[in-house]
Amino acid sequence: MKFFIDTANIEEIKQALSWGVLDGVTTNPSLIAKEEKPFNEVVQEICKCVPGPVSLETVATTTEQMIIDGKELAKIADNVVVKLPTCLEALQATKVLAKDGIRVNMTLCFSPLQGLLAAKAGAAYISPFVGRLDDIGQNGMELISQLTQIYENYGFETEVLVASIRNPIHVLEAALMGADVATIPFRVMEQFIKHPLTDRGIETFLNDSKKVPAA
Ligand code: E4P
């Protein structure tokens, strides 16, 4: 399972990279806005320091503009993945960009049939938003199970990129379901490496090691 970090904050990205388990980054317009810096400055720095895929989103609303923006975004660096919303206008744009060898991440996916269309259009990734479904009283993880099943049934190569993750349980369940990627906020990543029993165990071993008589 690949781990992406869901942030546009360079310090968080560098820290997660230093842990040695980071495979890529996803951003969105809201995350970029939080950085209060020009778009190009933020994304160029991210693309330079991350060896894996970096998803950059366009806010275009027409097929034509999505294609133009997608081609522009792809010029920023070889590791750019163009993020388009899972909507009608983006299906054709995805097809065109994919034909040009540009990888597309279809985002804001909330139903299995949206995911099936994204795969048929040639998306490299589909981003189902589990947290936002949970927020409205639906079962976000059920969507992951449906998408992994559908893609397996037909041998689609589109990767299921679990997004809108709110807690470590989302990551655990996604892993058990065989999702390809989880894009995780920094605070959630930090959360699941930590365990109080591990901390207590380290402390005990450290203290006991001091009691071993010297040779
Ligand atoms: C995914 O690529 C999105 O950036 C992200 O996961 C959205 O999550 P949110 O619902 O926490 O905004």
Whether the model pTM is above 0.75: yes
Q: Write down the mean pLDDT value for the chain.
A: 97
Q: Structurally, how many domains does the chain consist of?
A: 1
Q: Once rounded to an integer, what is the mean pLDDT over residues 107-126?
A: 98
Contact 215, 38 (CB under 8 A): no
pLDDT of residue 193: 85
192 — pLDDT class (breaks 50, 70, 90)? confident
Other CB atoms within 10 Å distance of the CB of residue 21: 11
For residue 31, which atom of ligand 1 is closest to its CA? 4
Distance CA 106, CA 201 (A): 43
Give a yes or no: residue 215 inside a domain: no
Rounded distance from Cα 208 to ligand 1 centre (Å): 45
Give a yes or no: residue 214 inside a domain: no
pLDDT of residue 3: 98
Other CB atoms within 10 Å distance of the CB of residue 213: 4
Q: Tell me which of 14, 37, 71, 83 is the catalytic residue.
A: 83
Percent of all residues in the chain with a pLDDT value above 90, rounded to a whole number: 98
> Do you know the residue count of the chain?
215
Beta strand 125-128 pairing with 2-6:
unpaired
Distance CA 70, CA 106 (A): 12
Contact 123, 117 (CB under 8 A): no
Give a yes or no: residue 32 inside a domain: yes
Q: Which domain holds residue 33?
A: 2-209
- State the CATH number of the domain containing residue 178: 3.20.20.70
Give a yes or no: residue 74 inside a domain: yes
**C-alpha dihedral (86, 90, 95, 96), degrees to nearest 10:** -150
Distance CA 110, CA 117 (A): 12
170 vs 194, higher pLDDT: 170
Give a yes or no: residue 54 inside a domain: yes
Q: Once rounded to an integer, what is the mean pLDDT over residues 117-145?
A: 98
215 — pLDDT class (breaks 50, 70, 90)? confident
Q: Is 120 a catalytic residue?
A: no
Burial group, residue 204, by CB count within 10 angstroms (0-12, 13-18, 19+): exposed
